[in-house]
Amino acid sequence: MRRLLFFYPRAYRRDRGPEILETLQEYAGTSRTRLAVNLIRHGLRTRLGRPASRTVVVWAALFTVACGLFAAAFGSWVGWQTIRPLHESEAAQVAAELLPTQNLKVDTDEPPAKFVIYGQPLGWYSVRDLLLGDGGEYGQSGVGAGSNGPADHPERDLATLRENLRRGGWEFREYVRPDYGHEVYAGRGDQQLDITFYEYNYGASYISLGMDRPAPALATVGGVLGFLAGAVGGFLLFGWASRRTRSVFVKLLLGFGLFFWWAPIVLAFPQMVEHHLSEWHYSWHPLWEWLGQPALSLPFLLGTGLLVLALAISALARAQVRRADDPVPG
């Protein structure tokens, strides 16, 4: 129980700690969990400078977790930059390994960057696309190959593909797509494939092979480190602002800012869960997609602007108090 006092600020612990511990000794019949929750809640309220507030811990938690998640997304994005660059030759090599008789031809350009939007690396010219509804187009660049003409024996090609995938040590799953044909997802090491057998009404079948990279280990490392740094930083920042001002305007800015931060997450997260549960993935989608980014980057940016404004007003509020406290010259 002594450890739970660490949720209180140090000065408070020094003054009240022994007394609270003495009182705690008397609560013999009370559930330890109930006592712990009570001490954590009040300790955090005190630390956030609002011991009487019933909601400050909830606001702090929303801000802290959001900061953690967005920092984790950034950290994982940095980790994603460590993937090996893709080359057309790699797609040609894999196509030859898996479908040797089909003579698939590389049909994509050499990727200009690891992540692209509409085939181009991010740049100032991407701002419009990113902010105004096309942010979902941002993603990892891939290379691919396809058949030049209809396959003569698609069933036989599919059997060959399965056999070669097994022989080559690939993990894979197959899905029948009633709309267009048959799809195979496969992964091995740092290669992941999406191979589609398109079937057309007149019986012709075309094969397409797309390749990109699964999440590298450093994306997880970056995500975890990012979350920890973001959450700690977010909590400290919230506490700092919370202790500086009681302004209703700042509270409104905080409320709207957090709404714009959380709305994309609330919208995107269930969809991503459903998507991941509905079909096998050799590697999970990047973390930022789970947070609705950059598909919904405009609300995120708007929320960031409001929260930065709230922090700026909090900083100025303290400065004003200090100025008022200054001794009158002369």
Residues contacting 90, CB < 8 A, separation 6+: 143, 191, 211
Write out the DSSP string of 246-284. --HHHHHHHHHHHHHHHHHHHHHHHHHHHHHHHS--SSP
CA distance 137 to 148: 27
Tokens of 284: 């999970």
Contacts with another protein by CB under 8 A lie at: 16, 18-27, 30, 34-35, 38-43, 45-46, 51-52
CA distance 304 to 254: 10
CB of 53 to another protein, least distance (A): 10
Task: For residue 3, give the amino acid letter.
Answer: R
Tell me if 215 sits within 8 A of 33, measured CB to CB.
Answer: no
CB of 49 to another protein, least distance (A): 12
Q: Which is nearer to another protein, 30 or 271 (CB)?
A: 30
Buried b (16+ CB within 10 A) or exposed e, 273-282: eeeeeeeebb
Q: Which is nearer to another protein, 23 or 103 (CB)?
A: 23
Q: Which is nearer to another protein, 30 or 101 (CB)?
A: 30
Q: Which is nearer to another protein, 19 or 325 (CB)?
A: 19
Tell me if 4 sits within 8 A of 40, measured CB to CB.
Answer: yes
Tokens of 214: 């699964």
Q: Which is nearer to another protein, 8 or 197 (CB)?
A: 8
Q: Which is nearer to another protein, 7 or 77 (CB)?
A: 7
CB of 238 to another protein, least distance (A): 19
Task: For residue 37, give the amino acid letter.
Answer: V
CB of 41 to another protein, least distance (A): 6
Beta strand pairing call for 191-199 and 143-146? unpaired
CB of 55 to another protein, least distance (A): 14
Pick from 261, 263, 286: nearest CA to 275: 286
Q: Which is nearer to another protein, 34 or 246 (CB)?
A: 34
CB of 18 to another protein, least distance (A): 4
Tokens of 47: 């630390």
CA distance 138 to 295: 8
User: How many C-alpha atoms does 161 have within 13 Å on its Cβ side?
Assistant: 28
CA distance 73 to 290: 9
CB of 33 to another protein, least distance (A): 11
Q: Which is nearer to another protein, 40 or 229 (CB)?
A: 40
CB of 4 to another protein, least distance (A): 9
